[in-house]
Structure 1
Amino acid sequence: MSECTSEPKKRLNNYQINKEKVKKYKLENKKKNKSLNGERELNGNREKNCISNKKKEKFQKYALCVGYLGSRFHGCQGQGKEVMTIENEIERTLVKINAVTKFSKTYNTCLSRTTRTDLGVHALYNVFVYMINIECVDGGGVDGVDGVDGVDGVDGVDGVDGVDG
């Protein structure tokens, strides 16, 4: 009688399985990208790619330096539409003048902030960082709103500086 002397295959652990899957997906994506790039060049879609890159370049990182009396606000950090906060008010103002775009209700447009305050706390100098539409900054107001003056609760922005990044 001949017995089977071959040992059963060693079972791979999850790390090894995932590592193989990642390699496989990377190779597939490279092949897809090569074929798509070839098709784009053949179809003359390079202009579309340039246009989409220009759209991305319209936004630049800016730091908004803000001071406020916090008596009527429920803190600085955004807490949803029901609660009046400094961050919500700034975002509402920036959306109104088309400086930023809201992609969805849950999208947070503030990239960074230097503070967190509680109900009724005043601030002399806080910094909020946003990706702001350059056309809005350079070209003035949009839809009859000239800058942020005239927006409820905001007297003006003093010290809007470009931030490298």
Structure 2
Amino acid sequence: MEPEILADSAREPSQLREELHTCRLELAALREQQEIDRELLATAARAEEQLIKLSLAVDTWLTKRERRSRWWGPLRRWLAPEMPTRSERADLALITSSNLFDGAWYLRTYPAAAGSGATPALHYLRRGAWSGKDPGPDFDTRAYRRQHPELGAEVNPLLHHLRSQR
């Protein structure tokens, strides 16, 4: 017989019962922790779902607000600087029609953009691209700039990509 088996068989039954009891207590504690972890994961999943719904709602609200404001005319820039200019509208139409731009994703990834009052697309057009922010999960602004060093600082990488594909 091996020495470990001999050592186990030489133990007292009371000692073995005590070790078994300790193992059962540890197992119960681990199961309790596992249940707590499951609840935390479920809570996190629900929070993620709510965040997605909220970001979609904010994106939709800002976009509708932008569309309603077009009648303001020349006063728009003075009264609401977060509204697009006439020259920006064509760029915004191209950005928002692209599957590379995801307004809700943009708001979740860059929450400060929501505080600007502009739509996610307008924020990306005016500020996001210049600071290296991505318009969606499928377009890397910085990588595009590295691949196209001929682009100046004034050229929006996403617009360049979309126009070059046409």
Question: Normalised by the shorter chain, which TM-score bucket?
Answer: under 0.3
TM-score calculated relative to the size of structure 1:
0.24
TM-score calculated relative to the size of structure 2:
0.24
Which one has the bigger strand percentage?
1
Which one has the bigger helix percentage?
2
**Structure with larger RCO (C-alpha < 8 A, sep 6+):** 1
Task: Please identify the structure whose Cα radius of gyration is greater.
Answer: 2
